[in-house]
Amino acid sequence: MMIPLAERMRPKKWEEIVGQQHLVGKNGVLTKFIHQGFIPSMILWGSPGVGKTTVALLMAQCLNRVFFKLSAVHSGVKEVREVLEKAEKNLFHPSLAPILFIDEIHRFNKSQQDALLSAVEKGVITLIGATTENPSFEVVPALLSRMQVFVLKHLDKEEMVQLLSKAIKEDVVLSHKKIHIKETEAIMVYSGGDARKLLNALESIVQHSDKDEVVITNDLVKNILQRSVLYDKNAEQHYDIISAFIKSVRGSDIDASLYWLAVMLKGGEDPLFIARRLIILAAEDIGLANPNALLLANTCFDAVHKIGMPEARIILSETAIYLAQSPKSNSAYLAIDNAFDFIEKKGAEPVPLHLRNAPTSLMKELNYGLDYKYPHDYPHHCVQQNYLPENILSIRFFEPSENDKISKK
């Protein structure tokens, strides 16, 4: 059985990794860890096909560490404990702790992740988790606080072309064929910065040709790869389809929203992933135009969690339709980003004295809280006073949109 091209082309040395130079380049942070002879437990966060597994494997190889690998899809607490028992037998010094690599660590539930805590704290293992999802949401805080997070990026066009050329010249199979790259636009669009997808596409194109000479053009790529349209929740179209779904709801197109929702659910997508994205959309794109949208989206998530598929499809459909036909406003989203931007550029000002709390007599002597006006002591429970630092009283972060259901003073 022939090993797939993507696996045959997996880098054997640290210097052979294509892309991720901010991490693996000469001055990359992971390269520096390797030179120091010690790496911390970490999360490698990035889309499929950007090299998370390869990076973990080669770090273990460079440091001559024992390497254990588990897939969160097929492993549970039992498998984790078996590995930890083996790791303890190999532990002579923290700097030599075996590496435990867990692919798709976001699929571990809380109890499974908690089983790793003690081993990470004691240095029994160096844990490297790979995830395609935001670790802030998917990794329990106690474990996440003990790990560093590194983001892996999509490969850019130059890196993808480099990978194509390398495969054509060096692969044991492709190097015996005459392969010419005439056009790259179609295969780049299809791959979307995913190295594994790029190499799988190249292999598929070559396999469909009955000649020793293959000229890769945009038309050839489209003709061969257009057959591969099934949704892959783990890699292929995961991000493209969820993007199309969210943009359809944002654009108030109900039928398009339902189409992309059906594509994802039929493809086996996690309904909670979809529900979570709807919560974000309700706050970001509907916001103050219809504050009830956030309540409904959050209720949707809870209901989907309780019910599960196949009935969860009805809850998701109802929510998607409601959000799609709702009035839209991103004013709250823009407002907090404006405030963030201002603080990043100008820094934070001291809190005015009259707004400070004064729990001690010393603070009162320093005029903390002096002249503060308690709004409930005034007509309509409102009183005019300065709530911003003196030198930025005129600043405005929030600009109501025409759809906002709030006072537009």
Instruction: State the CATH number of the domain containing residue 318.
Output: 1.20.272.10
- Chain segment 104-124, per-residue pLDDT in tens: 898 888 888 888 888 888 888
3-class DSSP assignment, residue 81: helix
Q: Where are the beta strands (DSSP E) in 91-245?
A: 99-103, 126-131, 148-151, 178-181, 213-216
| 304 has pLDDT over 80 | yes
- Chain segment 364-403, per-residue pLDDT in tens: 888 888 999 999 999 999 999 999 998 898 899 998 888 8
Q: Smallest Cα–Cα separation from 298: which of 272, 264, 337?
A: 272
pLDDT of 334: 93
Estimate to the nearest angstrom the gap between the alpha carbon of 351 and the chain centroid: 35
pLDDT of 253: 96
Q: Residue 45 pairs with which residues in a beta bridge?
A: 131, 151
Q: Which two tokens stand for residue 280?
A: 């974000």
Highest mean pLDDT among 195-204, 247-256, 258-267, 333-342: 247-256
Distance (Å, rounded) from C-alpha 377 to C-alpha 154?
57
| 405 has pLDDT over 80 | no
Show which of 225, 255, 281 is a domain's final residue: 225
Residues 6+ apart with CB under 8 A from 380: none
pLDDT of 407: 54
Q: Does a structural domain hold residue 401?
A: no
- Chain segment 146-178, per-residue pLDDT in tens: 999 999 988 888 999 999 999 999 988 888 888
Does 212 share its domain with 271?
A: no
Does 37 share its domain with 117?
A: yes
Show which of 119, 135, 151 is a domain's final residue: 151
State how many domains the chain has. 3
Does 165 share its domain with 132?
A: no
Does 170 share its domain with 70?
A: no
Q: Where are the beta strands (DSSP E) in 148-219?
A: 148-151, 178-181, 213-216
Residue type, 210: D
Show which of 225, 252, 285 is a domain's final residue: 225
- Chain segment 53-101, per-residue pLDDT in tens: 999 999 999 999 889 998 887 877 788 888 888 887 765 555 578 899 9
Q: Residue 43 pairs with which residues in a beta bridge?
A: 129, 149
- The answer to whether residues 138 and 106 touch, using CB atoms and an 8 Å cutoff, is yes
Does 243 share its domain with 313?
A: yes
Q: Smallest Cα–Cα separation from 59: which of 126, 120, 149, 121?
A: 126
Say how many C-beta atoms besides its own lie within 10 A of residue 356's C-beta: 15
Q: Which residue has the tokens 């005019």?
A: 384
Does 261 share its domain with 301?
A: yes
Residue range(s) defining the domain that contains residue 255: 238-325
Q: Which two tokens stand for residue 218?
A: 């945009």
Does 112 share its domain with 204?
A: no
Q: Does a structural domain hold residue 121?
A: yes
- Chain segment 320-359, per-residue pLDDT in tens: 999 999 999 999 999 999 999 998 888 888 899 898 888 8
Query: How many angstroms separate the Cα of 120 from the Cα of each of 60, 258, 383?
Result: 16, 43, 53
What pLDDT band is residue 408 in, cutting at 50, 70 and 90?
A: very low
Q: What average pLDDT does the chain have? A: 87
Please give the backbone phi and psi of residue 150, each rounded to the nearest 5 degrees, phi first.
-125, 130
- Which pTM value belongs to this model? 0.60
Say how many C-beta atoms besides its own lie within 10 A of residue 375's C-beta: 12
Measured over the CA atoms of residue 163, residue 40, residue 147 and residue 25, the dihedral's sign is negative
Bond into 141 cis (ω within 30): no
Q: Does a structural domain hold residue 214?
A: yes
Q: Is 172 exposed, middle or buried (0-12, 13-18, 19+ CB in 10 A)?
A: exposed
Measured over the CA atoms of residue 5, residue 46, residue 13 and residue 26, the dihedral's sign is positive
